[in-house]
Amino acid sequence: METSREKTKTIFNNILKLAIPAVITQIINTIYAIVDRIFIGKIPGIGSDALSGIGVCFPILILVTAFSQLIAIGTSTIVSMHRGSGNKDKAEESVGNAITLSIITAATLFIALEFFMNPILLFFGASNKTLIYANMYLKIYLVGIFFQILIQVFSSLLICQGFANESMTACIISAFTNIILDYLFIITLNYGIAGAAVSTVISQLIGVFILILYMIKSGKNEKLKIRIKYFKLKPHNIKMILLYGLSSFTMTFTEASIHAVYNRTLQLYGSDMYIAAMAIMQSLMQLISVFSGGLSQAVQPTISYYYGANDSSGVKSAYKIGLISHLAISIICSLTLILTRSITAKIFTTESSIINIIINYFPIYLSGWIFFGIQSGAQCFFVGIGKTSYSMLLAILRKIILLIPLMLILPSIIGITGVFLAEAVSDIISVTFSGLLLFITRKDILKNITT
């Protein structure tokens, strides 16, 4: 019989096996998004305005990601639970329903965003000068919205089945395709910001195609299969997908809302230059999210698996490994970005005013993220065991209750500095509350797993 220490080591190795490819996948995805912005920022004559235009599009791009995560994380959590309990048919039924839900979601978002594009961009902080670039990029980007959602869904499904390497390979191919096409369309053919959008759509299409091949291949190995008979939506499956994905959706959706408020506030108290600087800062902060997100993709299904198997010791070991790892990531990455901000800013732009904004304000903006791993680990634990209401509470507290009001209040008192300080203050309060909630509830939760 396996001892407690041996079991913890096994769980750690399993998480590591899933986390490394997941993190690499996230890094590659982020790199090609960052490369987009680097190429755009270097376009002669219009680089700064085009970068501001991309910054205005951020809330919409994040909104699409939120819906992708809603389906992807909800489905992977349910699939992991069904696999843990040995119910393969229910797991495959969830996969089929997720694909149909992805198609419906993509079509709905495309129609809504296409119809209301200009009013939304103006509301999100576009100026007369940057609207043309934001509109140009977004119109093309929306063509690939279905591919983006499916990439997230299929990647999560492969990872939760143990096919993390296959997910990583597909994303690497897609990413390098995007980088090559960026150079071709933006630099060689001089298509400008439109070239960046076309590159993204083509690379996402390729990524989806490869992931579908892997999904089909996984079926031959007695893993979960894509069955057309399960494409018909069932209310219970949709309810469960939405329930377990709701926490991640809420976090990302509120992130989109925050970006919109950021853009409007920066435009009010600053200028397009501040929006461009924020676009760069947020791009750099994605480097923290990739490690945290990749780790969550490994830890959360592992927690769900042991929870589905009614194994409290397995859940406890998995959540502890996740919490410690999340905290280490947030400390190391935050301090590294703060110390290297001058160098990294110059990679994106040669505009001295934008570089100076980043040098002066990035440490303030990022300071609360140093210990944010505590909240990431807590939310990963709560979602993994189905306590989505706790995870949602943490997300709403940080972004809706704290951050948005602070972004509106602090700048009116201390000026533009207040926009960046609001992030730090809300993060510190939210992290403290997350740690307390985890400490108070974890023992009773683990005890009830075995009852």
pLDDT of res. 26: 72
State the average pLDDT over residues 351-371.
90
| Mean pLDDT calculated for residue range 214-238 | 70
Between 1 and 110, the more confident residue is: 110
User: In whole angstroms, what is the distance from residue 73 CA to residue 361 CA?
Assistant: 33
Highest mean pLDDT: which range of 5-14, 244-253, 307-316, 350-359: 350-359
Q: Which residue has the tokens 């299409």?
A: 205
Q: Distance between CA 107 and CA 208 in Å, rounded?
A: 17
Residues 336-345: b if buried by 16+ CB within 10 A, e if exposed? ebbeebeebb
pLDDT, mean of residues 188-194: 85
Confidence of residue 335 (pLDDT cuts 50, 70, 90): very high
Residue 218: pLDDT over 70 = no
Q: Residue 86 class from Cβ within 10 Å (0-12 exposed, 13-18 middle, 19+ buried)?
A: exposed
Percent share of the chain, pLDDT over 90: 13
Amino acid at 263: N
From residue 399, how far is each of 389, 402, 425 by CA, in Å?
15, 6, 11
pLDDT at 428 exceeding the cut of 90: yes
The more confident residue out of 131 and 395 is 131
The pTM (predicted TM-score) of the whole model is 0.73
The answer to whether 113 touches 60, Cβ cutoff 8 Å, is: yes
Band of pLDDT at residue 418, cut at 50, 70 and 90:
very high
For 284-298, the pLDDT digits (tens) are 887 777 788 778 878
| Six-digit token string for 414 | 């201390």
Q: Name the residue among 186, 177, 146 with its Cα closest to residue 50.
A: 186
Span 85-100, mean pLDDT?
Answer: 77
Cα 60 to chain centroid distance, Å, stands at 13
* Residues 117-170: tens digit of each pLDDT: 888 888 887 878 888 888 899 899 898 898 888 888 888 878 777 777 787 788
Residue-wise pLDDT tens digits, 38-51: 888 777 777 778 88
In the predicted model, is pLDDT for residue 202 greater than 90?
yes
Ranges of each domain in the chain: 4-449
- CA trace torsion 434, 64, 334, 171 (10° rounding): 120
